[in-house]
Amino acid sequence: MEWTILGAGALGCVMTGLLRQRGESVALMLSERHRGHFHPSLELITLTGAHQLIQSRPRFPEHARTVECLLVFTKAYQVVDALKELRHLPASTPIILLHNGLGVAEKVQALFPNNPLLAGVSSHGAIKERDWLVRHTGKGETWLGPLNDAAKTWSHLVKPLEKALGHAEWSDDIALHQRRKLAINAVINPLTACNNITNGQLLEPRFADVLEQLSEEVYQVMSRLDGDKAETQDAFRRRLQQVIELTSSNHSSMHQDLAHGRPTENEYISGYILANAGNQPVPVCSQLYQEIERKSGTAKPAQRMQH
């Protein structure tokens, strides 16, 4: 089977490299700006610092009918528009969403009601140093699971992913993994983006109070959504501390997007917390949401958040 990767950003390119290293067939679905240009080899800097040239097949939207398995690594706000281009995608082709944040899957399901729809959650680290040069900065866990009934028979995709990534597991409750990743992102991303710092700097004493309050807000909202599967507050704090320490020298994706003048996934991370807060007060989360919107030049009225 050939894997087709939509979204040639840092993680999408690193995943391309890791799959190719294990002999998997991989195609990159490219955007219009690459049409007519020579498709260069992808250069992957491995965890050991070695440089490897990675070959993949270039694909464009008109090739959608040949796609056997689609891995979507675009930003959350790009997913729907990117998939609209693939209107000839066979109804039997699984679509695997691997973006940050939540709130997109429902729109994809409406676009492709018959396709197996899956979600992936990965904690691999990746940095795009320049076009077609990416660095793998850290190994992590990868979880895959179904978002609709048609996807429940696709657990066999885990085996080749496990060989390529070092860890991959199937979860029938992938939404739980998505929410737990979002809870971490909803603390780290806006704080590092607004303060222009690395993840590790969040552990400095000056951020202790705001880190504590934001963690409390996020935990209260997400634990209510998790119901009887909610982790304890202490477990959440330990997990948050561990992620900050493991990624201490990294800049969060939201920090990078803001620093480079790109749109952010604010609406799908902090915006998701605000939309699901109900009567729970979330003043810090709300303030950070508005600040990110202001910094990115997309400020919205306050009521926009409660969708």
Ramachandran class of 49: left when φ > 0, alpha when ψ lies in -120 to 50, beta otherwise: left
Structure tokens at 129: 């140093």
Q: Which two tokens stand for residue 275?
A: 């939309």
Q: Give me 10's structure tokens.
A: 């840092």
Cβ neighbours, 10 Å, residue 150: 18
Helix or strand run (H / E) with residue 53: strand 51-54
Both structure tokens of 210:
């705001």
User: What are the φ/ψ torsions at residue 14 (nearest 5 degrees)?
Assistant: -65, -40
Rounded to whole angstroms, how far apart are CA atoms 203 and 162?
33
User: Is 116 within 8 Å of 95 (Cβ atoms)?
Assistant: yes
CA 296 distance to own-chain centroid: 19
Nearest partner of 61 among 87, 99, 34, judged by Cα? 87
Bridge partner list, 146: 118
One of 181, 229, 295, 300 is an active-site residue; which one? 181
Cα first-last separation, the chain: 40
d(CA 183, CA 216): 11
The string of DSSP codes covering 4-23 is EEE--SHHHHHHHHHHHHTT
152 catalytically annotated: no
Coil/strand/helix, residue 97: strand
CA 158 to CA 139: how far, in whole Å? Answer: 16
Active site members: 181
